[in-house]
Amino acid sequence: MNMAVPAADPGCARLLAGLLEQRTGQRIAPNRSWRLDTALKPLLAGLSIDDVAELARRLRAGRDEALADKVVDLLLNQETSFFRDAGVIESAVQAVAEPLAAGMPVHIWCAACATGQEALSLAMLFAERKAAENWPRMPEIVATDVSGAAIARARQGAYSQFEIQRGLPVRRMMQWFSPNADGLWAASRPLLNAVTYRRHNLVAEPPPAGRFDLILCRNVLFYLVPRLRGQVLERLAGALKPGGLLLLGAGETVIGLSDELRPSRRARGFYEASGHAPSAPGGAAEVASGAQSS
């Protein structure tokens, strides 16, 4: 097996980028096609395939769904960290603090959660506020991603030394994580239980059942092909409860993409439904507590 992977020729690159776009709506810009080789290197090594051209031949044969899944998983951008934009995570918690303090059910959807760090960051903050302020309940947090591999890792809740140190203050690490036998830092059971993970394709499937008080969909639109951005925003708008809030990534906006969302008047930096979004599939009934279990 060669250490260096030969660069994908334009035809292979188009096939692989097309597979990613077809399944996830995400695109790889032509000037970033070098990423194909780097990203696929572990898969090629694992399958003893010499180059991307051979991988492309196998994919063209078209009967190996598991292989296609693995390729897509590796090509997805899974960049994430604990407390990414910490102030934004805190403002998301604050945005639903009032109903939680009053004992009302609150439902949160972390869309495109990658390996779970964002959802766990929220869960840590909610658990700390619940303990400090005697809130009667935690919110229901459902976290989804298109990648089966990412969701499997998120469910494990075990992170490498590099992952655990990115954004996570050491005191929180000591409180919520402990080293395991595999040399990873494993989330405590109460923390893991605070989040329900499930595989979900944001561009091809209706939102998870029910309606949400808060949806986080950060740093996702940027990677989608432009024609899908508005469709995804409309789906998100339809999944919000009346008065529910949507949080996008820094630099992401609804302007020019959807008139079903507008900047929130009560929560700076958030969006809310403008009032004429269609109902989410499954009806407008609120999600019953515990109904999101996988």
Partner 1 sequence: MKTCLIVDDSKVIRKVARHILETLDFTVAEAADGREALEQCRLSTPDVVLLDWNMPVMSGMEFLRALGTETLSHRPKVVFCTTENGMAHIRAAIEAGADEYVMKPFDRETLHSKLQIVGVA
Binding site for partner 1 (CB under 8 A): 81, 161-162, 165-167, 169-171, 173-174, 178-179
* Phi (first) and psi of residue 200, to 5 degrees: -160, 135
Are 28 and 20 in contact, with CB atoms under 8 Å apart?
A: yes
Name the residue nearer to partner 1 (CB basis): 29 or 174.
Answer: 174
Hey, is 261 helix, strand or coil? strand
Name the residue nearer to partner 1 (CB basis): 11 or 179.
Answer: 179
Rounded Cα gap, residues 117 and 167, in angstroms: 10
Q: Which residue has the tokens 């805190």?
A: 90
Rounded Cα gap, residues 220 and 230, in angstroms: 12
Q: What is the CA radius of gyration of the chain?
A: 20
Query: CB under 8 Å to 58, separation ≥6 — which residues?
Result: 49, 64, 67
**Least Cβ distance, residue 167 to partner 1 (angstroms):** 5
84, two tokens: 């990414």
Q: Give me the residues paired with residue 217 across strands.
A: 248
Name the residue nearer to partner 1 (CB basis): 47 or 86.
Answer: 86
Rounded Cα gap, residues 74 and 67, in angstroms: 11
CA dist 123 → 74, 126, 158, 238 (Å): 27, 5, 15, 24
Name the residue nearer to partner 1 (CB basis): 164 or 280.
Answer: 164
**Least Cβ distance, residue 115 to partner 1 (angstroms):** 15
Query: CB under 8 Å to 253, separation ≥6 — which residues?
Result: none
**Least Cβ distance, residue 85 to partner 1 (angstroms):** 11
Name the residue nearer to partner 1 (CB basis): 1 or 174.
Answer: 174
Name the residue nearer to partner 1 (CB basis): 160 or 279.
Answer: 160
**Least Cβ distance, residue 266 to partner 1 (angstroms):** 29
